Chain A
Amino acid sequence: MQYLIQLLISGLAIGAIYGLIAMAFAVIYKSTGLVNFAQGEMTMIVAYVAWTISTTISGNIFVVAFGAIVAAVLLGLVIERVVMRPMLGEPVFSTVMVTIGLAVILRSSINFIWDAYPHALDLGVGRDVVRVGSIGVRTGQIAVITTLLLLLVGIWAFFRYSKFGVAMRAVAADDRTALLMGISAPRVHGFAWAASSAIAGIAGVFFALSYDLSPVMFQLGLKAFPATILGGLDAVLGSGLGGLLIGITENLAGGYVGSGMKEVAGFLMIIVVLMIRPFGIFGERDIERV
């Protein structure tokens, strides 16, 4: 029993990281209709920037957190403005190919800006163990799960109640008509990229706190992608929960079946789920009325 609970908790913690990145995927998909294949790479870059801040400027957790979020927002804005905006109006397929190219560029930039060795992001927090009865939980794990839940609520409220959130949904549904209503689609897209980059960046920093930084960190994106497919590409909240599901599945499979299963369990799960609900568990079926 204790083994199971331990597996569940660490599954939730890693699942929360997947969930955050999956939400980042969904935010971009929901407002621009694109799958951003560079999401994992953006996560990694932000984590490296956070590490650089911690080693050069200050190791204070607030300074690092603030710096990382600012860097993430800037990264998102720059990518949107320089790479994505010229692609507006081009076929979706070519635009998605551009994000794949961007992924490769960002991935290799780690090697020439930083280096290929693993680093520990040591802020002096996150690795302490809190004991509840016989079960040990790391503070970093508690923090990331809490962050995911807070962001889930925050983003739900944003899309539901704020004018800009509703505008993002409108642009996603029909960007030309949104233009006709005076909604500036480029501004909405820029905001989506910035927000998505920040959410993914938070995930990257949490990951680096508990595990280590390394140039293969971009694979987090590959793990989070099934989470967003599972939850529904257009469902930001669903993606967050999908991340938790994938994290738990992975950990249980790894713990009970064998460590080989850990890598594939998530993908097996989405194959099964997509056979039953092709638009994801929480995804919206297109409204079609004749």
Chain B
Amino acid sequence: MPGATYLRGLTGLPPIMTASPSVSPTIDPTESARESLLEFRNVRIVYDNAIEAIRDVSIAVPASGIVALLGSNGAGKSTLLKAMSGILHTEEGELENGSISFRGESVHHLAPDELVRRGIVQVPEGRRVFPALTIDENLQMGGYTKSAAETRQQREKVFGMFPRLYERRDQIAGYMSGGEQQMLAIGRALMTGPALLALDEPSLGLAPLIIDRIYEVIAKLRDEMKLTVLLVEQNAQRALDICDYAYILETGRVVLDGTARKLSANEDVQEFYLGVSGSGRKSMRDVKHYKRRKRWLS
């Protein structure tokens, strides 16, 4: 059985690496296409024609819910988001195989502005507010694809959600604190009037208290604005607490996926990503080599 799975991976078939493959809901193209808002199917992404960043990844994001992409640095999480937003080419990346579809239509060939118009937006890693622009101007840029009336309406909503931004609307964004910048980055993305909001490491470099605030906001986006959220995180604990379903990426492949509850209960996830085990907290370094391999071959 281990040998067979390994071979399947090599021949390009979707690898099924879940702890219990029999209940894996991922790879059923006919069914998931109908339900998913966003779907990556057998995606392979190569940088510079040489470096394979994503290998045969299939991910489904069903409408109105939170799906998390977990994994360590360099696992390919951000690469997937770049592919989703159509900006791979700015880094010499290319979608070599597979497809990305949104509302059942194939979208991976579309220009970034068209993707925004269709309702896909992301809050990039490191917030990336325009530092020399005021808060108001940053928001205005989020509404770039919208009419003036829509922008005004959406801005009211964003200010209602983040009163702090309203208070400081004429200040230069570059001088705000990290947490405020994250709020601004989220507000700016909301200005596009999205159906799907992707957040790339929203907790990066922020204090735990601020992270709590950010996650409250994410929950609000789901509950009040009925947004579909694709959450990319290294902080697996936080993400699993809020998401409905999660995928774990490792060196460009999905090695594990399942509902948040199932993953949190998974012994390997607890050890590798949540840092807990029977004998208390543990670091990845202490994990025996054979145990790491186990996940690939089980």
Interface residues of A (CB under 8 A from B): 89, 163, 166-167, 169-170, 173-174, 176-184, 284, 287, 289
User: Which of A179, A184, A287 is packed against the most chain B CB atoms within 10 Å?
Assistant: A179
Inter-chain contacts of A184 with B (CB < 8 A): 111-113
Partner of B174, one of A169, A179, A183, A287: A287
Total residue contacts A-B, CB cutoff 8 A: 78
B175→A176 contact, CB < 8 A: no
B124→A170 contact, CB < 8 A: no
Stretch of B3-11, B29-37, B140-148 with 4 or more beta carbons under 8 angstroms from chain A? B140-148
In which size bucket is the chain B interface?
A: 20 to 34
Cα A244 to Cα B104 with chains together (Å):
59
Q: A29 to nearest B CB, angstroms? A: 14
B130→A170 contact, CB < 8 A: yes
Cα A89 to Cα B87 with chains together (Å):
12
Cα A255 to Cα B279 with chains together (Å):
87
Inter-chain contacts of A181 with B (CB < 8 A): 116, 121, 141-142, 144-145, 188-189, 192
A180→B87 contact, CB < 8 A: yes
Q: B137 to nearest A CB, angstroms? A: 5
Interface residues of B (CB under 8 A from A): 85, 87, 89-90, 92, 111-113, 115-117, 121-122, 124, 128, 130-133, 137, 140-142, 144-145, 172, 174-175, 188-189, 192
B144→A173 contact, CB < 8 A: no
B112→A182 contact, CB < 8 A: yes
**Known contacts A181-B192, A287-B172; A176/B144 CB under 8 A:** no
- Please list the 7 inter-chain residue pairs (A to B) with the smallest Cβ-Cβ separation, ordered nearest first: A182-B116, A287-B174, A182-B145, A182-B113, A177-B128, A179-B112, A287-B131
Inter-chain contacts of B130 with A (CB < 8 A): 169-170, 173-174, 177-178
A182→B90 contact, CB < 8 A: no
B121→A180 contact, CB < 8 A: yes
Interface of A is mostly: helix
Q: Could you write out 26 A-B pairs with CB less than 8 Å apart?
A: A89-B89, A89-B90, A89-B92, A163-B140, A166-B133, A167-B141, A169-B132, A169-B133, A169-B137, A170-B141, A176-B87, A176-B124, A176-B128, A177-B128, A177-B130, A178-B130, A178-B141, A180-B87, A180-B121, A181-B192, A182-B192, A183-B141, A183-B144, A287-B131, A287-B172, A289-B175
Partner of B144, one of A174, A182, A284: A182
Cα A180 to Cα B197 with chains together (Å):
12
Residue of B nearest to A183 (CB): B144
Cα A173 to Cα B138 with chains together (Å):
12
Inter-chain contacts of A180 with B (CB < 8 A): 85, 87, 112, 116, 121-122, 124, 128
B90→A179 contact, CB < 8 A: yes
B137→A166 contact, CB < 8 A: yes
**Known contacts A167-B144, A170-B141, A287-B172; A182/B128 CB under 8 A:** no
B132→A284 contact, CB < 8 A: yes
Q: B232 to nearest A CB, angstroms? A: 14
Inter-chain contacts of A169 with B (CB < 8 A): 130, 132-133, 137
Cα A170 to Cα B92 with chains together (Å):
22
A179→B87 contact, CB < 8 A: yes
Q: A279 to nearest B CB, angstroms? A: 13
Inter-chain contacts of B89 with A (CB < 8 A): 89
Inter-chain contacts of B116 with A (CB < 8 A): 180-182
Partner of B117, one of A167, A173, A178, A182: A182
Cα A166 to Cα B141 with chains together (Å):
8
Inter-chain contacts of B128 with A (CB < 8 A): 174, 176-177, 180
Inter-chain contacts of B189 with A (CB < 8 A): 181
B133→A170 contact, CB < 8 A: yes
Cα A287 to Cα B129 with chains together (Å):
12
Q: B109 to nearest A CB, angstroms? A: 16
Q: A219 to nearest B CB, angstroms? A: 33
Inter-chain contacts of A289 with B (CB < 8 A): 174-175
User: Which of A166, A177, A287 is packed against the most chain B CB atoms within 10 Å?
Assistant: A177
Partner of B131, one of A166, A173, A179: A173
Residue of A nearest to B138 (CB): A170
Cα A251 to Cα B17 with chains together (Å):
77
Q: B145 to nearest A CB, angstroms? A: 4
Inter-chain contacts of B174 with A (CB < 8 A): 287, 289
Inter-chain contacts of B192 with A (CB < 8 A): 181-182
